[in-house]
Amino acid sequence: MAEPKQHLYLVDGSSYIFRAYHRLPPLTDPQGTPVGAVYGYTTMLWKLAADLDEADGPTHLAVILDASGVSFRNEIYDQYKANRPEPPEDLVPQFPLIRDATRAFSLPCIEVEGLEADDLIATYAREAQRQGWDVTIVSSDKDLMQLISEVDGPNGPARIDMLDTMKNQRIWLPEVEEKFGVGPELVGDVLALMGDSVDNVPGIFGIGPKTASKLIAEHGSLTAALDAAPEMKPSKLKERLIEGRGDAELSKILVTLKEDCDLPQPLEEMKLGPVPPGPLAAFLEKHGFTSLLKRLETGNGSPARKTDLNPPKADKPGANRAGDDSANRQPLPEMPRIDHAAYATVQTLDALEEWIARARAAQVVAVDTETTSLDAMQADLVGVSLALAPNDACYIPLAHGGNDMFAQKPEQVDKAAALAALKPLLEDDAVLKVFQNGKYDLNVLAREGIAVAPIEDTMVISFDLDAGRGEDGMGGGHGMDELSQRHLGHTPIAFKDVCGTGKKAISFAEVPLEDATRYAAEDADVTLRLYRVLKPRLAEEGGTRIYERVDRPLIPVVARMEREGIRVDRARLAKLSEEFAVEIGRLEGEVHAAAGQEFTVGSPKQLGEILFDKLGYKGGKKGKSGQYSTDVSVLERLAGEGAPIAKLVLEWRQLSKLKSTYTDALQAAINPDTGRVHTSYSLVGAQTGRLSSTDPNLQNIPVRTPIGRQIREAFVPEPGNVLLAADYSQIELRLAAHMADVDTLKQAFAHGEDIHARTATEMFGEVTRDTRARAKTINFAILYGISRWGLASRLEVEPDEAQAMIDTYFQRFPGIQRYIHETLESVRAKGYSETLFGRKTWFPRINSKNQAERQGSERAAINAPIQGTSADIIKRAMARMLPALAEAGLHDVRMLLQVHDELVFELPEERVEAATPIIRQVMAEAALPAVELSVPLGVDIGTGLSWDAAH
């Protein structure tokens, strides 16, 4: 048997502590020594050491530090690292503690005078790779990205990758490519051109990361780029390249890692075993890391646990871990209890200016708006609250006392003046604005002419961490009250306690200032506290990638789409409503006649009794509510068996649905100010990461039947414009083919084949209308997690026959069965599924003893990575779309709607030709560069004078 692969982790201790210092709160230990960064470092080592025995975890580990003093690079260039500022004074005493912490874990700690940590890491990494080991460099230093590689070793490929523990991100070839636009072997050349101000590597003045990447990618190397300079067309860039040649060559030497250092310690001595608890306990105790100490004692996720408490086990190492993660969370510095009396009401411009100044100094401020409506497109701004620290919060009333000119109004800052004062703060790049559901506030403030940025959103952070995590008894929502309850143990004042409910409800503008301040300032306070709890978890739990790269950038994009809205033709809808009403009345009469009595056709209860008791049709099945089922499958069966009433009811239902849900409701949804319909998208509505749409839902407008499609004809562009609809074609099946690595399907997609026809050929040997339809059903069944009974009922065959088809499918596409098996194993062990972009969905019931519950989770878990990856891809496309169009000068293309695999745009007719290829490209390439798919993404685009015509 081959020996298990060795995996060396090299921890770049020095760079970690700098970053930890800035990211973590300034804790001090019982002796008064600052230990915030050390605490961060300790938890990181803890996690790494506890990963021993995990797949891809370390078998060997060493910490590499910078020795103090000068390195050989200073002999080459005396200015090297010369302008680096002194480290902050409360960081200095923490440097030696890094060594103490490392020793406490009984881990090797290596530093060599005259060598930098990077050079030692490079040498050790290459040496281990030569011996066929995998290597993970724990650092985020971009210089080290030069080392990322994979070579053929004695027993298979040996790779060097990186792990950024702050962002909890693996860095591998795609990440390097994304950052530098070139492979690792050329990273040094890019760095040499761009320089590094922190290390005082000169680079070439005036060339930054973008230009450097572009030059190296174009010419293939630094030397080639420099050589090509004299031939370039006259430009600033050309001059700089020629004049800066010397600087660039020197920089290249400085950034090149020394890979042939003398090694002070052989690799074998880095072998990682269970951590002896004694020295570690002493260290934790000395510095007052009591929560870690407790975990060490209880063995909960402890690096010492493996031998001390549990004998090594061969079976699933992660079993039963599902969902227990929250208990493993880092303790946070205590926050004071919520104190409503501490909140300020800001009633003068001077006081407001002071809060704004303090917010600027704090650089992070939680913001909340109070309005008159939940609909951001109708809401009037009533006040704004700010929070700078726990209990340090205020409320700024702007429109209390209502709009009645003569009413008695409380003293408050003039609304226009206050907003003018707030605007620079809210738009300041250097001040982070934290919201709970920021999309709402963004829209309210955008309507006041304020373009808030940059923002953070605790609701979205919560979703990216905990989607699906709700269990019985504990809600899984991401609303503020729920989050506050869950993470802060605090129940905020309820809106209805301030404004009342039902008929007696008052507008927030009528709430007395004292109550308004308590409520509003508390919301900002809670938001800030939630941010402090949730934000660090992103990095710890691997949520940074999806939050920073997908969901956070999407917030302003979706907000903008909501504000754009879409025009609907009211007259057309009204006409449809009327036609439907006539037809519904006629059908109702016929149904009553067929039934021999009047009854409420819309009542499934009454209908069931008429059909099965009075008229005596057979096959009535009662559900658990004791009521006959009368859904479409039942009525269709009855209609097929010659029951005229069933067909009439089906028609009646179709038209009632269309009228009440669409033609009537859409007219009512037209915004009187804009004349357009503005849906609201939820970024946290669907567990898989999809958006959902409400008020009205524009993601379920009819399309499948001709009669329903008439409603789509009422969605229209402004005069002179057209609607453009761009759809991903079969995206989920394509992703399944990629993720399950099914060659036959991948080839079919690569050749642009009809995928259902192809499936029919594989399964039934021939393509007919019937076999293709069956194949299509089976393809979807696979995506949704199949059962013989479910498939049987859809195909109207016996379960045995359905099972035979499933077997055939798995035989023809063996990757699918393996994918399903591996996905479920992983979800059972970890508790969550993951998309290609790292989005997690939790399945707390995956190991349930209740079979139905468990099987339901299993089906959802099979589907979630596929549906979720598709959602990630279109989200990335959306975030890039308007910038890409703008870059081509297309500023008048509006992105209006998203329907899961479709984007709808409105644009002047004469822009269609220019916009189409850009939209197609952005969508088709949306996975890149983070993920390279082995199937192409097809995009179908159409245009027309209605949404229907655009398809």
Amino acid at residue number 75: E
Minimum Å distance from CB 775 to DNA?
11
Pick between residue 355 and residue 842 the one whose CB is nearest to DNA. Answer: 842
State which of residues 630, 663, 730, 759 lies at the interface with DNA (CB under 7 A). Answer: 630
686-715 residues near DNA, rule: CB under 7 A: 686-688, 690, 692-697, 699-705, 708
608-627 residues near DNA, rule: CB under 7 A: 608, 623-625, 627
Pick between residue 129 and residue 870 the one whose CB is nearest to DNA. Answer: 870
Q: How many residues does the chain have?
A: 951
Residues 824 and 816: their CA atoms lie apart, in Å, by 12
Question: Can you tell me whether residue 116 is helix, strand or coil?
Answer: coil
Pick between residue 698 and residue 829 the one whose CB is nearest to DNA. Answer: 698
Pick between residue 123 and residue 687 the one whose CB is nearest to DNA. Answer: 687
Q: Which helix (H) or strand (E) holds 709?
A: helix 706-712
Minimum Å distance from CB 617 to DNA?
14
State which of residues 658, 722, 735, 895 lies at the interface with DNA (CB under 7 A). Answer: 658
The gap from C-alpha 894 to its chain's centroid, in whole angstroms, comes to: 24
Minimum Å distance from CB 490 to DNA?
22
10-49 residues near DNA, rule: CB under 7 A: none
Minimum Å distance from CB 696 to DNA?
6
Contact string (CB under 7 A) for DNA, positions 880-919, x = contact: -------------------xxxx-----------------
Minimum Å distance from CB 239 to DNA?
52
Closest CA to 924 of 724, 728, 691: 728
Minimum Å distance from CB 843 to DNA?
9
Pick between residue 40 and residue 689 the one whose CB is nearest to DNA. Answer: 689
Closest CA to 900 of 938, 918, 874, 882: 874
Binding residue count for DNA, defined by CB under 7 A? 72
Pick between residue 100 and residue 375 the one whose CB is nearest to DNA. Answer: 375
| Contact (CB, 8 A) for 711 and 662 | yes
Tokens of 923: 């969508």
Q: Does 179 bind DNA (CB under 7 A)?
A: no
Residues 253 and 270: their CA atoms lie apart, in Å, by 30
Pick between residue 328 and residue 855 the one whose CB is nearest to DNA. Answer: 855
Minimum Å distance from CB 694 to DNA?
4
789-818 residues near DNA, rule: CB under 7 A: 789-791, 793-794
819-878 residues near DNA, rule: CB under 7 A: 851-852, 855-856, 859-860, 863-864, 867
State which of residues 59, 369, 656, 833 lies at the interface with DNA (CB under 7 A). Answer: 656
Pick between residue 180 and residue 617 the one whose CB is nearest to DNA. Answer: 617
Q: C-alpha distances in angstroms, 430 versus 20, 425, 426, 575, 825? A: 20, 9, 10, 53, 45
Tokens of 796: 């109207």
| Contact (CB, 8 A) for 935 and 744 | no
| Contact (CB, 8 A) for 828 and 847 | yes
- Collect all residues with Cβ–Cβ distance below 8 Å to 702 and sequence separation of at least 6: 658, 662, 708, 709, 711, 712
Contact string (CB under 7 A) for DNA, positions 284-323, x = contact: ----------------------------------------
HEC readout, 451-512? CCCCEEEHHHHHHHHHCCCCECCECCCCCHHHHHHHHHCCCCCCHHHHHCCHHHCCCHHHCC
- Collect all residues with Cβ–Cβ distance below 8 Å to 921 and sequence separation of at least 6: 884
Minimum Å distance from CB 14 to DNA?
44
Pick between residue 409 and residue 859 the one whose CB is nearest to DNA. Answer: 859
Tokens of 182: 């070139």
Query: Which region, judged by CB under 7 A, interacts with DNA, from 52-60, 550-558, 564-572, 659-667?
Result: 659-667
State which of residues 131, 326, 507, 629 lies at the interface with DNA (CB under 7 A). Answer: 629
Minimum Å distance from CB 866 to DNA?
9
Backbone angles phi, psi at 693, to 5 degrees: -130, 135
Segments of 6-79 assigned E as strands: 7-12, 60-64
Q: C-alpha distances in angstroms, 120 versus 250, 523, 698? A: 21, 50, 58
State which of residues 650, 884, 914, 949 lies at the interface with DNA (CB under 7 A). Answer: 650
Pick between residue 413 and residue 896 the one whose CB is nearest to DNA. Answer: 896
Pick between residue 620 and residue 929 the one whose CB is nearest to DNA. Answer: 620
Minimum Å distance from CB 844 to DNA?
12
Pick between residue 171 and residue 860 the one whose CB is nearest to DNA. Answer: 860
- Distance spanning both ends of the chain, measured CA to CA: 58
Contact string (CB under 7 A) for DNA, positions 752-791, x = contact: -------------------------xx-xxx-xxxx-xxx
Minimum Å distance from CB 839 to DNA?
13
The gap from C-alpha 206 to its chain's centroid, in whole angstroms, comes to: 35
Minimum Å distance from CB 817 to DNA?
15
551-610 residues near DNA, rule: CB under 7 A: 600, 602-606, 608
Minimum Å distance from CB 777 to DNA?
5
Residues 82 and 74: their CA atoms lie apart, in Å, by 9
Pick between residue 81 and residue 592 the one whose CB is nearest to DNA. Answer: 592
- Collect all residues with Cβ–Cβ distance below 8 Å to 395 and sequence separation of at least 6: 343, 344, 345, 346, 370, 383, 384, 385, 513, 516, 517, 520, 521
Minimum Å distance from CB 790 to DNA?
3
